[in-house]
Amino acid sequence: MKPDISIVSVTWNSADCIEALLGSVARAANGLSVEILIVDNASDDGTVERVRENGFRGIRLIRVSRNIGYSRANNMGIRKARGDYVFLLNPDAQLEEDALMVGLDYMKENPNVAVLAPQMFYPDGLLQPSVRSFPDHMGIILEMTGISRLFPNLSRWKLNPKPVSRPTEVDQPMGAALLMRRMVFLEIGAFDPRLRMFFSDVDLLKRVRARGYKVVLHPGMRVSHVMGLSTRKARSRMALEWSSGLTRYFAKHERRNPFNAILNFFNWAVGVGRSLFYRL
């Protein structure tokens, strides 16, 4: 029987958080038929064992022999999902108890919405910045140079976190928690595997919007998120992955822009600098 919703979570050394995610899904199921697909990117910290020991009946574990990256692993899970609705969830996220029901009801009532994002919170209950506009050259440079921290209104990329009172159309919600129609995902061509980790969600959402679909932030659908729990375990490598993702994103969407060269200079100077710093 087809599940009401498929949860897809990509893990890499996520033993310290995966049980909390699975527990939150079980509590949020609330009578719904839910399958969980865990795509494990060659964890060596006991993540797989904790998934296998979990009592949730709908878990499907997909093990990968090497770390193939966030994009390829998500594509693998989504293609194996059986539900019409797929909820991409990072392993360091936790659903509030009514999140699945609220999200599914809204998607069924609004067929022109392809992606629904929850309001994100830190574990202590503080609002988490989770929505941005699509990146532009100036916004990225202001962010990398630190100028946007002194003058936040100069950058159109990072938006100040503000709670919304009703479902609101947005550009780019955080990829840590996205409920989407599986049909739309397959229609637009899945995650771009060239964007292994960072900016893959940005690219996906830009293509969703380009097809005329809506992306909406729903304040009644709430998710707690630690933010960066896995990436902090390999900070030096992640700094370079971020720079690589940014370069590929702009090469794909702004191929003829003469400012790409300037952006790449700042991007790789900052990326290499951060990578070396994290090795100290």
Helix (H, G, I), strand (E, B) or coil at 122: coil
List phi, psi (to 5°) of 57: -75, -25
User: What's residue 171's pLDDT?
Assistant: 94
Whether the Cβ atoms of residue 132 and residue 172 lie closer than 8 Å to each other: yes
Global pTM reads 0.93
pLDDT at 143 over 90: no
Whether the Cβ atoms of residue 24 and residue 100 lie closer than 8 Å to each other: no
List phi, psi (to 5°) of 197: -135, -70
Average pLDDT of the residues of the chain: 92
Higher pLDDT, 152 or 259: 259
Nearest Cα residue to 179 out of 127, 207, 226, 214: 214
pLDDT at 166 over 70: yes
Cross-strand bridge partners of residue 223: 95, 120
Give the Å distances, CA to CA, from 7 to 34, 45, 60.
7, 22, 10
Q: Which two tokens stand for residue 79?
A: 């293609």
**Residues 99, 273: Cα–Cα separation, whole Å:** 40
Per-residue pLDDT reduced to its tens digit, 4-48: 999 999 999 999 999 999 999 999 998 999 999 999 999 999 999
Question: In the chain, what percentage of residues exceed pLDDT 90?
Answer: 69
The CATH code of the domain at 5-127+163-228 is 3.90.550.10
Question: In the chain, what percentage of residues exceed pLDDT 70?
Answer: 98
Residue 103: half-sphere exposure toward Cβ, Cα within 13 Å: 35
Question: What Rg value do the Cα atoms of the chain yield, rounded?
Answer: 18
